[in-house]
Copies of this chain bind each other. A is one copy, B any other.
């Protein structure tokens, strides 16, 4: 297991410009034919529901998104396809020379974010901002979902290691992003070699049951593995009988390794009652003087099972997590949306029967307030320009408010693209992971617990609230 530099920051997507819902293209042609191609639009990316019944989201996917945006253009074969789909020659000529000229504001990758708050703000022509909707949603929704799940597993595991083993049950090629997002969220390493190669994240893994079965007996299979991997050997002990065969054979091999000046790194449990087997195995190892041999456990683990195992004092040093990490499992999608906030600097809102689905109009910014101890107190959503509100109010119960004048404040959204030019270096997964860790430390524990986490305060500036109310009235 070692870290290498990322080989390829560009995207897997060979055809990013058509990685989109078909209607983005029909609408784009519509704007073009309506003579509106140079009109300006501002869209917000945000989500409404927290995944996993949790209290926060770890923002991820920014680096993959930027890599795609940096390379966004229509190629001839794509234009031929669009022509076959009935798009008009004049529009295809426009697309042939199309280059992004957008402004993008976003938090740093790894930021802790909350419902309703704009995460990405995208400004540009009505065509370019519309065309990017699906791409932005697809990448940010998924990577943020998995980074969040990983952060919960790491939170449960504490100082113990969490390793991503999920590729075999990941949702197809999304597995490459899942393993990267898992690292951003807090996983220590991944079994996903592709992701390790492309993203420079640490790779990990030793043996499957088939290795053991392919030898005449378990002891021989262990001996062979220890011979080839004297310094990174983790033996899988549950192929035949964990306590009667697997652990005793591992002890035999560990003793033989000691004679050659090596140390068995660990054993892995992959079935049965992990708390029971870990305790029994630990005792067998300790009785043999092998206190240094670690115990790894895997098998349908998630943050709640990890927490349960730790609360039972199961002596497990490393958790291998798979399906329940890389698919999000109980919440397999973040519900992020991309909504129009302004056209030609005129604020727009979409009303809904459900007041919580009414959007926030206008170009906006997000400010985070800190308590004296540095912890996050809450976030305020402001109009981007000339908003000097000193009070933020609850979005739906405006009688609840906070005076923010006494708090230390920081802006959450930073320039990522300006006129289509990148304003930042692409963050590496390890850098984003470090940032996520720092930020999660500043989030109070009541927002991180798994059962009924406390709701983090996100308020609207008085000025934004007035604008929303005024536009809502006008539409009625």
Contacts and interface: CB of A to CB of B under 8 A. Distances in A.
A472 B168 CA distance: 28
Interface stretch (A7-15, A247-255, A362-370): A7-15
Given A172-B174, A333-B323, A22 B203 contact: yes
Contacts of A34: 224, 228
Interface stretch (A350-358, A418-426, A439-447, A453-461): A350-358
B19 A194 contact: yes
A307 interface: no
Count identical subunits in the complex.
Answer: 2
Contact of A214 (B167, B239, B340): B340
Contacts of A333: 169-171, 323, 327, 329
Interface stretch (A136-144, A153-161, A259-267, A393-401): A136-144
Contact of A193 (B20, B167, B204, B211): B20
A99 B328 CA distance: 36
B225 A15 contact: no
Interface of A: 1-2, 4, 7, 12-15, 18-27, 29-31, 33-34, 36, 39, 41, 43, 77-78, 81, 84-86, 126, 130, 133-134, 137-139, 141-143, 165, 167-178, 190-194, 196-198, 203-211, 213-214, 224-225, 227-229, 232, 239-240, 271-272, 323, 327-329, 332-335, 338-340, 343, 348, 350-353, 475
A12 B177 CA distance: 14
Contacts of A78: 197
A189 to B, nearest CB: 9
Ranked 9 nearest A-B pairs via Cβ = A174-B174, A23-B205, A22-B205, A171-B171, A172-B174, A171-B174, A137-B168, A172-B177, A327-B332
A343 B214 contact: yes
A174 B167 CA distance: 12
